[in-house]
């Protein structure tokens, strides 16, 4: 729970400097949490406990000011979200380029129209490039 709150406070401080929309849409929570956890582990080893007392004695207003100052130095490009990859057809789908007027295609369409329970499910993927035909093999 404390890790979540730490990440939330970090994103709030970044949002106050760069804008909430940019933080929500462009900053990856995963990369931010990874950076915070890695930096925390290193600081716990390198910095003596006596140096942390400064933060315990700060008022909430002073702590917010310090967090904003630190957030202003963050390079957001290091925590940029990656766009989702396009979904592939999958392992069990075989894309075959077939002429739309071929006898095989005509017979498959006739069979599909006659029966709703085909062994091999036929999907017409005209939206895909080159008007390809996908046959899903079960």
Question: pLDDT by residue for the chain (138 residues), tens digit each?
Answer: 556 666 677 788 888 899 988 888 888 888 888 888 888 899 889 999 888 888 889 998 998 899 899 899 989 888 888 877 776 656 666 666 666 667 777 777 777 666 554 444 444 444 444 444 445 444
Q: Which residues pair with 125 in a beta bridge?
A: 132
Specify whether the CB–CB gap between 103 and 60 falls below 8 A.
no
Give the per-residue pLDDT at 125.
Answer: 42
Specify whether the CB–CB gap between 116 and 109 falls below 8 A.
no
Burial of 71 by CB count in 10 Å (0-12 exposed, 13-18 middle, 19+ buried)? buried
Sequence-separated (6 or more) residues with CB below 8 Å from residue 17: 68, 71, 72
Give the per-residue pLDDT at 109.
Answer: 72
Q: Look up residue 73 and give its DSSP letter.
A: T
Q: Look up residue 80 and give its DSSP letter.
A: B
First to last CA, the chain: 45
**Is the pTM value of this prediction over 0.75?**
no
Give the per-residue pLDDT at 32.
Answer: 87
Give the per-residue pLDDT at 107.
Answer: 76
């Amino acid at each position: 729970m404390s890790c979540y709150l730490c990440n939330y406070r970090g994103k709030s401080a970044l949002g106050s400097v760069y804008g909430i929309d940019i933080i929500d849409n462009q900053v990856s929570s995963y990369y931010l949490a990874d950076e915070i956890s890695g930096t925390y582990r290193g600081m716990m080893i390198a910095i003596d406990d006596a140096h942390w007392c400064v933060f315990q004695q700060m008022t909430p207003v002073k702590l917010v000011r310090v967090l904003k100052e630190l957030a202003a130095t963050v390079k957001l490009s290091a925590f940029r979200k990656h766009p989702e990859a396009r979904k592939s057809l999958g392992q069990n789908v075989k894309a075959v380029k077939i002429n739309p007027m071929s006898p095989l295609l005509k017979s498959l369409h006739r069979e599909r129209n006659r029966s709703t329970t085909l062994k091999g499910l036929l999907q017409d993927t005209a939206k895909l490039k080159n008007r390809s035909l996908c046959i899903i093999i079960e």
